Amino acid sequence: MNSTEGLHGDLGIINPEDIVLAISNSGESDEILAIMPAIKNIGAYIIAMTGNINSRLAKASDLYINTHVEEEGCPINLAPMSSTTNALVMGDALAGCLMKLRNFSPQNFAMYHPGGSLGRKLLTRVGNLMKTGEALALCKTNTSMEDIVILMSEKKLGVVCVMNDENNVLVGIITEGDIRRALRHKEEFFKLKAKDIMTTNYTKVDKEEMATQALSIMEDRPHQINVLPVFDKEKFVGVIRIHDLLKVR
């Protein structure tokens, strides 16, 4: 709150349970001193941040923080330079202490800071980026290699998901790497079925997982994974590509 505006109605934002941090290097700023009685009448606790512990502001406050500096950075020692920097440092130190006392987490930070790259990193979940429905390349266990190659090419996800013939449950995945390995069979390649080359011990991720964590799962391993099946608890719901996750880095 701007102290001058406090004289014209802005004091209404202050409640009895609030703590007011009043910042004045001299501790004699008229516009701050003018609203001290009103703040006391409201019942709020007052902490002064001042470079003059004998000032009227320090004496009017319940507690003061000494921000005194020996001299300003100004060549003529008049313009507030060192004192403003010191007030900023003390304010940051106070904020850091409060964060620790309140166990303020990255998730709390994200709640109040949804914009920018920090917000994206802390708020974006796998479910926000995954491919679902018609975008997926799905096949059955007996699907031919020819159809698998066509699916892989059309959907451009780098993976074909193999579904159980009976209850439509994901039983395996086929990646571009699986197809390259299958090509070693040469003339037998097009005789193979999805069940012959699919990977059944695949790595998966839950749709509620943070996007940054999913990216770590894909990158922090001897051989990078480019795509992961996504589950909603035990149900397969989509796939996530590393290209999509890199957008929130």
Domain boundary among 69, 104, 139: 104
Task: Tell whether 73 and 154 lie within a shared domain.
Answer: no
- Number of other CB atoms surrounding residue 203 within 10 Å: 12
Is 192 among the domain residues? yes
Position 108 scores a pLDDT of 84
Domain boundary among 70, 104, 138: 104
Residues 6+ apart with CB under 8 A from 113: 119, 122
Pair 139, 194: CB distance under 8 Å: yes
| CATH code of 157's domain | 3.10.580.10
Residue 87 structure tokens: 């007030």
Position 177 scores a pLDDT of 93
Task: Tell whether 183 and 96 lie within a shared domain.
Answer: no
Model pTM score: 0.64
| CATH code of 70's domain | 3.40.50.10490
- pLDDT tens, residue by residue, 184-193: 988 899 999 9
Taking alpha carbons only, the member of 180, 235, 229, 220 closest to residue 200 is 229
Q: What is the rounded distance in angstroms from the CA atom of residue 178 to the CA atom of residue 160?
A: 10
Q: Are strands 19-23 and 63-66 parallel, antiparallel or unpaired?
A: unpaired
Q: What is the rounded distance in angstroms from the CA atom of residue 75 to the CA atom of residue 222?
A: 57
Is 172 among the domain residues? yes
3-state secondary structure of 8: coil
Q: What is the rounded distance in angstroms from the CA atom of residue 223 to the CA atom of residue 48?
A: 57
Residues of the chain below pLDDT 70: none
Task: Tell whether 141 and 100 lie within a shared domain.
Answer: no
| Alpha helix ranges (H) inside the chain | 3-6, 30-33, 36-42, 56-60, 82-101, 106-112, 116-123, 126-129, 145-155, 176-182, 194-197, 211-219, 242-245
Position 152 scores a pLDDT of 94
Position 17 scores a pLDDT of 97
Is 113 among the domain residues? no
Position 185 scores a pLDDT of 85
Full domain range(s) for residue 143:
126-248
Domain count, the chain: 2
Position 111 scores a pLDDT of 79
- pLDDT tens, residue by residue, 71-88: 999 999 999 999 999 999
Position 29 scores a pLDDT of 95
Is 121 among the domain residues? no
Interhelix angle 211-219/116-123, rounded to 10 degrees, is 80
